[in-house]
Amino acid sequence: MEDTLTEPLAGCATLALEDGRVFNGRAAGARTRRGGEVVFNTSITGYQEVFTDPSYAGQIVCLTYSHIGNVGTNLEDEESSKPFIEALVVREFSPLASNWRSTESAQQYLEEHGVPVIWDVDTRALVRHLRSVGALRGVISTDGTPAEQLIAEARALPSMAGQELAGRVTVAKSYDWTRGSLSLSTPLAAAATAGAKAATNISAVAAAAAHPRPNGEAASRARYRVVAYDFGIKRNILRLLVDHDCDVTVVPATTSAEDVLALKPTGVFLSNGPGDPEPCTYAIDNIRKLEGRVPIFGICLGHQLCGLALGGRTFKLKFGHHGSNHPVKNLRTEKVEITAQNHGFCVDPDSLPSSEVEITHLNLNDHTNEGLRHRSLPLFSVQYHPEASPGPHDARYLFDDFVKLMKDHKPGK
C-alpha cells in the first residue's frame, strides 16, 4: 500500500543519459523536462544552498545524501535569487517540511522555479556509473516523454567543455552589498519565521533578501573598498566580505579593468561561477590589466581565471569535485582543511611559471591544484569555497589573508 506521506508526489519520471543508460523513478518539482551535465554532490546538509549556487548552471545534480526536503526552504539560506540547477536527482524526496525556519516546502520551491525532480531511484548506482565513465549529459523528464527521445536530446546537448556560462548568470548592473552574516535573532530571520504564517511577511523577506538594507554597524566600520566581479557570486561571500570590514560593490562579469579601477578599490575579488574558464577571455584580459595595480583574491572560477591570466592552462576533471568534505593541504602551513567544493575544471600546476607563481594548496584525494599565490604581486586564489555555508569553515582565514593583503598594499603605504 502506498505511504500517505509520499502519495502526493506520485507520477513517473525518467533520467536518460547520453550513453543510453536510463533511470526510472517518481516525479516531483515541476512537470517538465530539463537537460544538462549530470554530476553528484556528497554534502549531507545545505541542499538549498546547492539549489541556488549559480556555479551549477547547466548541470543536473544528484545528491548522495538519502533524504532531501524534510527541512523545507527559507529565504535566508539562498545563495542567489533563484535555483540554478537544471534538475535534481535524489533517493528520497519529502513533500513535507518540518523546521521552524521553513517558509515553504522544497516541493513548492522547486515547482515554482520550474525545476523537475526525479526520486526513488538508486542514486548509488548512478554515482558509481558517473565515477566510472565520467560526468555525462542527461535529460530528466517528469512530463512523460519517452526514454528514446530523451537519450537523443541528451546527445544533442552541448558539452560543458567550451561553454562560457558566467555571462549567463552574472548580474545585469552594478550594486552595493552591505549586509553581513545572518543571525537567527535578526529581523530578517524573525520575518522568515512569521512568513510561514503570513504571506505578506514572505513578500517582505523576499524584498529584504533581494535588496539588502544597510547593516549600520558593519557599514560604519568599513575600511576596505572591494570590487567583486560577479561570475556567479554566492551571497555568503558578500556577507563575509562585509564581516571583514569591506565596503562591497558587485560588478557584472564583463566590466572592464578601467571601470573597476575608476571605482578606486582597495582590493578586487573574483567570484565562483559555472562553465569552462577558457572561453572567458574578457575576464582573463581584465585580470592581466589589474595584476600588480590592486590586491586580487579569487575563488573557484576566479581561481581558474587567475591561473589562465598568469600563463597557465586548465583541464576538465573526470567527474569534478562537488561536496563539503574534500581534504585540502595548505602547503605553507602543513595543515589540512576540510573544504566545500563545486567545480568541474582545474588549473594545471605544471603549466604555471614556477619563478612567478607559488602553489599553495593541494587536494589530498587526487592531488590536483587547490591554490596559488604570485611571488611578487598581491594576488592569490583558491579552487575551493572558503565562504562555505553551512560549512565547513576551516578556510575562513583566507578572508583575513585578503584583508591583510589590502592593508599591506593600501595606497599611501
What's the pLDDT tens digit per position in 177-203? Answer: 999 997 765 444 444 433 333 333 333
CATH numbers and ranges of domains, the chain: 7-156 (3.50.30.20), 166-180+215-408 (3.40.50.880)
| Confidence band of 413 (pLDDT split at 50, 70, 90) | low
| 234/91 Cα distance (integer angstroms) | 27
Pairing of strands 67-68, 92-93: parallel
Residue 96 has pLDDT above 70, yes or no: yes
Q: What is the pLDDT of residues 398-407, one digit of tens each?
A: 999 999 999 9
| 18/180 Cα distance (integer angstroms) | 43
Residues acting as catalytic residues: 300, 385, 387
Q: What is the pLDDT of residues 231-277, one digit of tens each?
A: 999 999 999 999 999 999 999 999 999 999 999 999 999 999 999 99
Residue 381 has pLDDT above 80, yes or no: yes
> 234 is written with which cell numbers?
554566492
User: Which residue do the cell numbers 526514454 mark?
Assistant: 147
Q: How far is CA 230 from CA 166, 227, 233, 255, in A?
A: 8, 10, 5, 9
Task: Average the pLDDT over each of 68-72, 92-96, 179-183, 352-356 and give the range with the smallest value.
Answer: 179-183
Q: What is the DSSP string of 323-343?
A: EEEEEEEETTTTEEEEEEEEE
Residue 166 has pLDDT above 60, yes or no: yes
pLDDT at 204: 33
Q: How many CB atoms lie within 10 A of CB 315?
A: 12
**What value does the mean pLDDT of the chain take?**
90
User: Which residue do the cell numbers 587526487 mark?
Assistant: 366
User: Which residues touch 88 (CB under 8 Å, ≥6 apart)?
Assistant: 29, 51, 60, 61, 62, 63, 68, 110, 115, 116, 117, 118
More reliable by pLDDT, 396 or 205: 396
> 283 is written with which cell numbers?
575576464
Mean pLDDT, residues 370-391: 96
pLDDT at 190: 41
| 371/363 Cα distance (integer angstroms) | 9
pLDDT at 288: 98
Q: At what angle do helices 397-408 and 235-243 cross, to 10 degrees?
A: 60
| 93/27 Cα distance (integer angstroms) | 10
| 372/306 Cα distance (integer angstroms) | 9
pTM over 0.75? The answer is: yes
Does residue 80 sit in helix, strand or coil?
coil
Q: Are 142 and 160 in contact (CB under 8 A)?
A: no
pLDDT at 198: 34
